[in-house]
A and B are shown apart, each in its own frame.
Chain A
Amino acid sequence: MWVTLSLESRFESIEIAERALVDLLAGHGIEDDEQYWILTALREAIANAIRHGHHEQPEERVRVDFRVSGIQLSIMVLDQGDGFDSSVIPDPRDAENILKPCGRGIFYMRRFMDDVTFRREPGGGTMVSMSRRLTARAIKE
């Protein structure tokens, strides 16, 4: 079953999404350590939607969907922004980038989830889809 949230574009909204995902993950027996990295990826995706997609305009809604199916966690974050070319995101570890104050969010998302894709939605907006294979021993049947 999908959990769906429609959030105002305020950074405080990230906490709401975090709490909902913690409830879902804890309910499936996912340990704190694994939760932490998943929540980091979620935070980055929503923060990008609020800051870059909606330019912090609170009335613009960020839609967040997530579910656990078997041992697979899926998270989707949809904003109404113009999107960007995810193939040209600079590597923050490169010498010319390492001291830049920004540019690590997508890197963290890709690092802590197994798969991260960005696509323009036909009706407008940008969808970030992330998935991760959960630690099988933690999953409650």
Chain B
Amino acid sequence: MKQQIKDVGDVRIISLSGKITIGAGDVVLRELINDSLEAGHTKILLDLGGISAIDSSGIGEMVASYTSAKNRGAQLKLVNLSKKINDILQVTQLITVFDVFDNQEEAVQGF
């Protein structure tokens, strides 16, 4: 998995590409979110536009990241979900947990 990080105002945008799967992308995702929280960011936007596959471990890390952020008074939101990732979140009803946006501009304004 590859990542790009940029800050727009006070929103940290983490753009991911590749796979978020067990033993690889899931660990990287955890570290990226933890590093952002440790650095004091309270508005984190995860751009999943480049993600080709995600498994239950990747979904689990997203949920754990959401909880970590919330426990620290921070927010984690999602943007640019492919239809498949949207479907994966739908079937486990996690779509009701995350704030999801269609594009980064809209998402940044959504914080």
Chain A residues numbered 1-52 whose CB sits less than 8 Å from any CB in chain B: 10-12, 14, 36, 39-40, 43-44, 47, 51
We find that the number of chain A residues with CB closer than 8 angstroms to chain B is 23
Q: Is the interface of B mostly helix, strand, loop or mixed?
A: helix
Q: A11-B22, A12-B23, A40-B55 are in contact. Are A101 and B60 (CB under 8 A)?
A: yes
State A28–B60 Cα separation when bound (angstroms).
33
State A108–B54 Cα separation when bound (angstroms).
12
Q: For the complex, is A104 an interface residue (Cβ under 8 Å from B)?
A: yes
Q: For the complex, is B93 an interface residue (Cβ under 8 Å from A)?
A: yes
We find that the number of chain B residues with CB closer than 8 angstroms to chain A is 22
State A19–B57 Cα separation when bound (angstroms).
20
Q: A98-B93, A98-B97 are in contact. Are A108 and B56 (CB under 8 A)?
A: yes
Taken residue by residue from 89 to 105, chain A's Cβ proximity to chain B (1 for < 8 Å, 0 otherwise) reads as: 00011000011111011
Report A's interface with B, CB cutoff 8 A.
10-12, 14, 36, 39-40, 43-44, 47, 51, 92-93, 98-102, 104-105, 107-108, 111
Report B's interface with A, CB cutoff 8 A.
21-24, 53, 55-57, 59-61, 63-64, 66-67, 84, 88, 91-94, 97
